[in-house]
Amino acid sequence: DAKTTQPPSMDCAEGRAANLPCNHSTISGNEYVYWYRQIHSQGPQYIIHGLKNNETNEMASLIITEDRKSSTLILPHATLRDTAVYYCIVRVGSGGGADGLTFGKGTHLIIQP
């Protein structure tokens, strides 16, 4: 799986959009970008994933650059409950590679009231 780089921590004001960047310059053509988060003391939670097109669901939006070397997770209206460690993971998606996830250090997002 390709390596990812994320800032160790970020702050965001409650109600604002939180934009979490991730660099994955060695991503391969068949690798997807997955985002998970872990709220303190809980199990990781799947957020969203994508290959090359931008994706949106009820939780977040994922913007992937055209060269696929980086992406941004957007939480449109952050709340205090969004305070968590966010992990960007690159791995082979549908069609193969159902192996374990490699979690890096992630970004500790702190939502300020």
Partner 1 sequence: NAGVMQNPRHLVRRRGQEARLRCSPMKGHSHVYWYRQLPEEGLKFMVYLQKENIIDESGMPKERFSAEFPKEGPSILRIQQVVRGDSAAYFCASSPLGGGGRAKNIQYFGAGTRLSVL
Restricting to residues 84-103, which ones interact with partner 1 according to CB under 8 A? 91-95, 97-103
Question: Which pair of structure tokens corresponds to residue 56?
Answer: 């949106």
Please identify which residue in 105, 109, 112, 113 interacts with partner 1, judged by CB under 8 A.
Answer: 105
Segment 43 to 62, residues that bind partner 1, using CB under 8 A: 43-46, 49
The residue (of 8 and 113) whose beta carbon lies closer to partner 1 is 8
Phi, psi of 21 (to 5 degrees): -90, 160
Residues composing the chain: 113
Is residue 28 within 8 Å of 52, Cβ to Cβ?
Answer: no
Q: Taking Cα atoms as reference points, which of 76, 75, 90 lies closest to residue 34?
A: 90
Size of the site for partner 1 (CB under 8 A): 25
Using CB under 8 A as the criterion, which residues of the chain lie in contact with partner 1 when the complex forms? 32, 34, 38, 41-46, 49, 91-95, 97-106
